[in-house]
């Protein structure tokens, strides 16, 4: 937060405003970074443009067969260049019993490109610092660390008038991570503490100025010996009601989690932006 205040001080000319085209901030992922639902994109959150800043918040729930993931968070963006975010996740073990919580602080910096305007895709780098709050259980199943840092490089581009007069967004993200189940089962394992490179991607078609449908894929490592970890995927509909409010619904397949296979169910997210 000190960093954020410094940023705002150094750019005291920036005003709270929303000059960007609707939809160009994506939605807020379960980790608090702007993107799709499970993949961070190169987009910067909110609708502020250069010389502007904006703030946003979200709440989301993923309900699959044996688990529920509640996420909530806040973020700010500056100059369509910087994004800072904080999210708290609560992963409820509905069948097993108990809960696992983690905090995620994210920062993202846009390196180059303008999502809508340049031939060069918008490219951003980001980091997510994650800290587990209920580490006893992850430790008991072989996780090495309570906290970890994910680093990612993301490229996003919108092709205007791409398919049947609709605009198409494609995103590709490469993430270096030590996280087990995105950190919900801690970081590293008894016999592995190295970073793994994972590929994540999303495709979205804007059916109107206010409605997008898309798919996402998130590759995941498989480090803990006690149970298999699998890749995640979802299919989503995002409704940008206006620049201040959006709702996203998805059907998601989280694969096997903690020995319970084929975890599928619904994702719902509500977010506000100012």
Partner 1 sequence: MKLWKLMVLLFCGSGLLACSSQPTPSLYQQLGGESGIAAITDGLLHQIEHDPLIVNHFRDTDIPRFRDLLAEQLCELSGGPCVYSGATMEESHTGLNLTTRDFDRLVNHLITVMQQRDIPYSAQNRLLALLAPMYSEVVER
**Which residues lie near partner 1 (CB under 8 A)?**
19-21, 49-52, 80, 114, 116-119, 160-161, 163-167, 205, 207-209, 213, 215, 233-235, 237, 251, 253
- Least distance (Å) from partner 1 to the CB of residue 165? 2
3-class state of residue 182 by DSSP: helix
Comparing CB distances to partner 1, the nearer of 1 and 13 is 13
Q: Which of the 8 DSSP states describes residue 262?
A: -
| Among 238, 230, 213, 239, CA closest to 264 | 230
Cα dist from 44 to 19, 56, 106, 262, whole Å: 13, 11, 12, 33
- Least distance (Å) from partner 1 to the CB of residue 121? 13
Cα dist from 154 to 116, 199, 244, whole Å: 15, 10, 25
Comparing CB distances to partner 1, the nearer of 167 and 173 is 167
Place of tokens 């998601």: 252
- Least distance (Å) from partner 1 to the CB of residue 227? 23
- Least distance (Å) from partner 1 to the CB of residue 204? 11
Q: How many residues does the chain have?
A: 274
Quick check: 150 and 176 in contact, CB under 8 A? Answer: yes
Paired tokens of 136: 């006893």
Comparing CB distances to partner 1, the nearer of 72 and 212 is 212
- Least distance (Å) from partner 1 to the CB of residue 151? 27
β-pairing, 52-64 vs 15-16, is: parallel
Comparing CB distances to partner 1, the nearer of 19 and 222 is 19
- Rounded to the nearest 5 percent, the helix, strand and coil shares of the chain are 5, 55, 35
Q: Across-strand partners of 90?
A: 70, 101
Q: Which of the 8 DSSP states describes residue 3?
A: H
Comparing CB distances to partner 1, the nearer of 51 and 103 is 51
- Least distance (Å) from partner 1 to the CB of residue 19? 5
The alpha carbon of 107 is separated from its chain's Cα centroid by a whole number of angstroms, namely: 12
- Least distance (Å) from partner 1 to the CB of residue 40? 21
Comparing CB distances to partner 1, the nearer of 5 and 119 is 119
Comparing CB distances to partner 1, the nearer of 92 and 110 is 110
């Amino acid at each position: 937060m000190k960093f954020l205040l410094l940023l705002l001080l150094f750019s005291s000319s920036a005003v709270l405003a929303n000059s960007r085209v609707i939809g160009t901030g994506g939605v807020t992922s379960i980790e608090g970074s702007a993107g799709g639902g499970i993949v961070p994109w190169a987009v910067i959150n909110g609708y502020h443009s250069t010389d502007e800043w904006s703030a946003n918040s979200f709440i989301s729930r993923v309900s699959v067969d044996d688990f529920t993931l509640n996420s909530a968070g806040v973020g700010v963006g500056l100059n369509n260049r910087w994004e800072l975010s904080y999210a708290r996740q609560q992963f409820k073990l509905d069948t097993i019993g108990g809960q696992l919580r983690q905090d995620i602080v994210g920062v993202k910096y846009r390196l180059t490109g303008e999502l809508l305007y340049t031939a060069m895709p918008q490219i951003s780098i980001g980091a997510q610092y994650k800290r587990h709050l209920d580490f006893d259980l992850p430790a008991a199943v072989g996780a090495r660390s309570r906290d970890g840092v994910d680093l990612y490089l993301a490229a996003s581009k919108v092709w205007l008038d791409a398919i049947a007069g609709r605009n198409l967004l494609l995103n590709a993200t490469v993430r270096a991570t030590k996280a087990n189940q995105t950190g919900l089962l801690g970081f590293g394992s008894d016999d592995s503490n190295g970073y793994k490179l994972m590929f994540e991607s999303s495709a979205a078609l804007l059916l109107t100025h206010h409605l997008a449908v898309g798919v996402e894929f998130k590759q995941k490592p498989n480090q803990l010996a006690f149970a298999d970890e699998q890749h995640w995927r979802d299919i989503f509909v995002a409704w940008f009601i206006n620049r201040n409010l959006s709702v996203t619904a998805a059907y998601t397949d989280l694969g096997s989690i903690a020995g319970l296979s084929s975890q599928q169910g619904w994702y719902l997210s509500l977010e506000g932006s100012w």
